[in-house]
């Protein structure tokens, strides 16, 4: 397999650490696209910790370099800006892309560009379920219409540091669960791009960005990242609560997000997909 990584942060590194659970190593080739200031660090880390992952490795800073390696599949884990800059080019070139930054699709213009690029290139934009479950059922019953979906995301205050939540509450002094956001999935994804990918995934699978209701909570008692949602439709009603352990390197990201990406890679190469 020839795998490309768009980004070389916490998700990408953890993915490489766990890759052997999804595919047989070594890969035929691994390509990494990262920011110019991260190139040397990426090369050092790859040569030091991931020699067994791939027969050959290429680190670059532009989409053309990534495409020159002829990847079979690219995993995006670099944020909304990288989605807009690089993913349309990859899709138009016929390369399938697994999207971790699902919240980027809350921008209707970017959503339209990505869909058009995939049609033009005959490729697919694959949205991971990330840290949430039950998306298969939600997506299935959405065809019946009449959906009502409400989502509640609770994380420790430290996971909301560096976001707009700091303008609403004093995260350092929060002593009980405190709601700092209530609105639509579109508003949540645009205001909290690194924290609301789950809300975006539920919106895309179900009632849409503007009909999915979202609450975001800073909870000092939370041991991890808690995702809860309830669904009502003419044919089914269900609710789900998932408590995810946060990534050690980034409290904003649940560890299960990486395993969701691994599942997509495994389904890509396995004779049986589930």
Query: Given this model, what pLDDT does residue 199 score?
Result: 95
Average pLDDT, the chain: 94
Q: Would 249 be classed as within a structural domain?
A: no
pLDDT in tens, 67-126: 999 999 999 999 999 999 999 999 999 999 999 999 999 999 999 999 999 999 999 999
Q: Does the structure show a pLDDT above 90 at 237? A: yes
Question: What range defines the domain where residue 198 resides?
Answer: 135-244
Q: What is the mean pLDDT of residues 136-155?
A: 96
Q: Are 240 and 137 in contact (CB under 8 A)?
A: no
The residue that leads in pLDDT, 224 or 251, is 224
Q: Does the structure show a pLDDT above 70 at 251? A: no
The answer on 163 and 30 residing in a single domain is: no
Q: Would 76 be classed as within a structural domain?
A: yes
- Start-to-end CA distance of the chain, whole Å, equals 19
Angstrom distances, CA of residue 48 to CA of 42, 51, 53, 62, 237: 10, 7, 11, 23, 50
The answer on 191 and 116 residing in a single domain is: no
Token look-up 């030091």 returns 48
The residue that leads in pLDDT, 196 or 215, is 215
The answer on 90 and 66 residing in a single domain is: yes
Q: Which residues are catalytic?
A: 227
Q: What is the mean pLDDT of residues 185-194?
A: 93
Q: Would 64 be classed as within a structural domain?
A: yes
Query: Given this model, what pLDDT does residue 244 score?
Result: 87
Token look-up 């989409």 returns 63
Classify each residue of 202-231 as buried b or exposed e, where b means 16 or more C-beta atoms within 10 Å of its C-beta. bbbbbbebeebbbbbbbbeebebbbbbbeb
Q: What whole-number distance in Å separates Cα of residue 95 and Cα of residue 206? A: 26
Q: Are 88 and 117 in contact (CB under 8 A)?
A: yes
The answer on 178 and 208 residing in a single domain is: yes
Q: Would 62 be classed as within a structural domain?
A: yes
The answer on 94 and 194 residing in a single domain is: no
Q: Would 99 be classed as within a structural domain?
A: yes
The answer on 40 and 9 residing in a single domain is: yes
- CATH of residue 44: 3.40.50.720
**Which contacts qualify for 170-179: CB closer than 8 Å, 24 or more apart?**
171/218, 174/218, 174/220, 175/220, 176/219, 176/220, 176/221, 177/217, 177/218, 177/219, 177/220, 177/221, 177/222, 178/217, 178/218, 178/219, 179/215, 179/216, 179/217
The answer on 231 and 260 residing in a single domain is: no
The answer on 126 and 7 residing in a single domain is: yes
- CATH of residue 236: 3.30.360.10
Domain count, the chain: 2
Res. 252 pLDDT band, cuts 50 70 90: low
pLDDT in tens, 206-222: 999 999 999 999 999 98
The answer on 222 and 203 residing in a single domain is: yes
Q: Would 109 be classed as within a structural domain?
A: yes
Q: Would 250 be classed as within a structural domain?
A: no
Q: What whole-number distance in Å separates Cα of residue 144 and Cα of residue 235? A: 7
Secondary element (H or E) of residue 238: strand 237-244
Number of Cβ within a 10 Å radius of residue 254 = 27
Q: Are 159 and 195 in contact (CB under 8 A)?
A: yes
Backbone angles phi, psi at 73, to 5 degrees: -155, 140
The answer on 104 and 179 residing in a single domain is: no
Q: Are 73 and 1 in contact (CB under 8 A)?
A: yes
The answer on 145 and 124 residing in a single domain is: no
How open is the CA angle 66-52-50, to the nearest 5 degrees? 65
The answer on 217 and 120 residing in a single domain is: no
Q: What is the mean pLDDT of residues 135-158?
A: 96
pLDDT in tens, 38-51: 999 999 999 999 99
Q: Would 41 be classed as within a structural domain?
A: yes
């Amino acid at each position: 397999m020839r795998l490309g990584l768009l980004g070389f942060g916490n998700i990408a590194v953890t993915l490489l650490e766990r890759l052997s659970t999804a595919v047989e190593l070594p890969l035929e080739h691994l390509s990494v696209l990262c920011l110019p200031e991260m190139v040397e660090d990426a090369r050092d880390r790859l040569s030091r910790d991931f020699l067994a992952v791939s027969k050959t490795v290429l680190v670059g800073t532009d989409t053309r370099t990534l495409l020159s390696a002829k990847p079979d599949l690219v995993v995006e884990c670099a944020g909304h800006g990288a989605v807009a800059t690089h993913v349309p080019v990859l899709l138009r070139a016929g390369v399938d892309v697994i999207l971790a930054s699902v919240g980027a699709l809350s921008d209707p213009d970017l959503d339209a560009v990505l869909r058009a690029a995939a049609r033009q290139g005959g490729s697919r934009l694959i949205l991971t379920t990330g840290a949430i479950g039950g998306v298969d059922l939600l997506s299935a019953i959405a065809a019946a219409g009449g959906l009502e979906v409400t989502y509640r995301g609770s994380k420790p205050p430290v996971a909301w540091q560096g976001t707009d939540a700091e303008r609403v509450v004093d995260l350092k002094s929060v002593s009980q669960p405190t709601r700092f956001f209530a609105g639509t999935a579109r508003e949540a994804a645009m205001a909290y791009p690194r924290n609301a990918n789950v809300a975006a995934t539920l919106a895309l699978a179900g009632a849409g960005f503007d009909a999915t209701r979202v609450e975001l909570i800073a909870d000092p008692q939370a041991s991890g990242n808690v995702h809860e949602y309830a669904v009502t439709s003419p044919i089914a009603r269900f609710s789900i609560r998932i408590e995810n352990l946060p990534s050690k390197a980034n409290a904003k990201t649940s560890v299960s997000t990486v395993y969701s990406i691994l599942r997509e890679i495994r389904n890509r190469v396995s004779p049986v997909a589930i």
